[in-house]
Amino acid sequence: MQRLNARAADFAAQFDALVNARREADADVSRDVAAVIARVKAEGDAAVAEYTQRFDGHDLPWQIPLADCAAAYAALDADLRAALDLAAERIRTYHAQQKPTDSDNVDAAGVRLGARWRAVDAAGVYVPGGRAAYPSSVLMNAIPARVAGVDRLVMVTPTPKGEINPLVLAAAHIAGVDEVWRVGGAQAIAALAYGTQTIRPVDVITGPGNAWVAEAKRQLYGVVGIDMVAGPSEILVVADGENNPAWIAADLLSQAEHDPTSQSILITDDAGFADVVAAEVETQLRALTTVATARASWNANGAMILVSDLMEAAPLVDALAPEHLELAVADPEPLFKAVRHAGSIFLGRHTPEAVGDYVGGPNHVLPTGRRARFSSGLSVLDFMKRTSFLGCTPAAIQAIGPAAVALAHAEGLPAHARSVQERLTK
């Protein structure tokens, strides 16, 4: 774990190194993924079957009946079923507020203009199934698609040895998924993008995955829409010395346990508090069943930054543009207003990032790797597209047409100019 002091002479250099550190997988997977995509495009089911047998160790059938999803939901412990239902309700309510409204107006020139929003026809949701199973990811990806009005919702998930976590199936039932396929990896992304003899293609693919899945989404963007190319998880906690150090340590470890490449950073104005939190992290690590992953992440990528005043944290936060930002202070509002770049912000001492992963309401699929500088978390808009329209009356084309003719001639496009000129009064 790295310690930085904003008052140190070499702080700027150390902080720049932290900001620009590359935590993605070292292996160059681009060529391998390109080969997988090419094979799936050319061979369809045969390629998907071969890769599924090679990487997950099972053969057909690939599709999981929806009745199995309903049965998994019915078989849940009552408390767990209630927790999933609560999460789904809150996610659905929050995302319903994102749905855009159409516009249709007539301007001063008499031109009718506006825009209408429509959902894509089909969306694919990728759900990880390797290191862990995440029913919360099913809800966070599938429910916004349903709210948007997507007609066909497809879920793919790797199932090592053909086995799938029943919680994932139960979540698919709650979210209203139409098809569930036990296929994962880059081959699943390619199958959703191009279609195979068995799996019909979709228009948008969302959901987290490993480096191969992320690279496949990157390469196939343009063939289909994607949510984002996500990297390792990260959390940045801004906390004063009045916090319970056990809470802050747990918050830092909540991301460290995701993956050895995850990153957890604390910014504080209290050196003594930082020492206590560091000690508490060590204590909590020993009790975690995920200790191997969390310790590797904390040792390699953890950091604590000491500042003189917590308002100094705002430009540091913006430079890091973290996936998750906790403002664990008595009055988070000044910092909240000062920060420009973060995937999602958690306000106050009683709002741990982990509550947002499950039952908060806002989406937990967020930009990583400083991409919050220019992108946003998953929303209903990722499953919709906007079509603009305009309509000119005879009077309206007379009012604005001459300017269009002049601009077309200026650009050296005479056919453009004639297309308008023909409609103008002689």
What 3 state SS string does the chain have?
CEEEECCCCCHHHHHHHHHHCCCCCCCCCHHHHHHHHHHHHHHCHHHHHHHHHHHHCCCCCCEECHHHHHHHHHCCCHHHHHHHHHHHHHHHHHHHCCCCCCEEEECCCCCEEEEEEEECCEEEEECCCCCCCCHHHHHHHHHHHHHHCCCEEEEECCCHHHCCCHHHHHHHHHHCCCEEECCCHHHHHHHHHHCCCCCCCCCEEECCCCHHHHHHHHHHECCEEECCCCCCCEEEEEECCCCCHHHHHHHHHHHHCCCCCCEEEEEECCHHHHHHHHHHHHHHHHHCCCHHHHHHHHHHHCEEEECCCHHHHHHHHHHHCCCEEEEECCCCHHHHHHCCCCCEEEECCCCCHHHHHHCCCCCCCCCCCCHHHCCCCCCHHHHEEEEEEEECCHHHHHHHHHHHHHHHHHCCCHHHHHHHHCCCCC
**What pLDDT, on the 0 to 100 scale, is given for residue 402?**
96
Residue 14 is assigned to a structural domain of this protein: no
Q: Are 158 and 218 found together in one domain?
A: yes
Query: Mean pLDDT for each consecutive 10-residue tract of the chain (426 residues)?
Result: 92 91 71 95 95 88 92 96 97 96 96 97 90 84 97 94 89 97 95 97 94 93 92 93 97 93 95 97 95 94 95 96 96 97 96 95 93 94 97 96 97 97 88
Q: Are 205 and 310 found together in one domain?
A: no
Note the residue count of the chain: 426
324 is catalytic: yes
**What pLDDT, on the 0 to 100 scale, is given for residue 109?**
95
Of 207, 202, 139, 149, give the one whose Cα is nearest residue 173.
139
Which domain covers residue 312, as residue numbers? Answer: 231-374
Q: Are 56 and 204 found together in one domain?
A: yes
Of 422, 316, 383, 415, give the one whose Cα is nearest residue 117.
383
Residue 277 belongs to domain with CATH number: 3.40.50.1980
**What pLDDT, on the 0 to 100 scale, is given for residue 127?**
94
Q: Which position among 234, 323, 326, 353 bears the catalytic label?
A: 323
Residue 398 is assigned to a structural domain of this protein: yes
Query: What's the angle, vertex CA 314, arms to CA 308 and CA 316, rounded to 5?
Result: 80
Q: Are 176 and 289 found together in one domain?
A: no
Q: Are 48 and 135 found together in one domain?
A: yes
Q: Which position among 173, 258, 324, 364 bears the catalytic label?
A: 324
Of 77, 97, 94, give the one whose Cα is nearest residue 139.
94
Residue 197 is assigned to a structural domain of this protein: yes
Residue 1 is assigned to a structural domain of this protein: no
Q: Could you give the number of structural domains in the chain?
A: 3
Q: Are 40 and 131 found together in one domain?
A: yes
In this prediction the pTM is 0.91
Q: Are 239 and 213 found together in one domain?
A: no
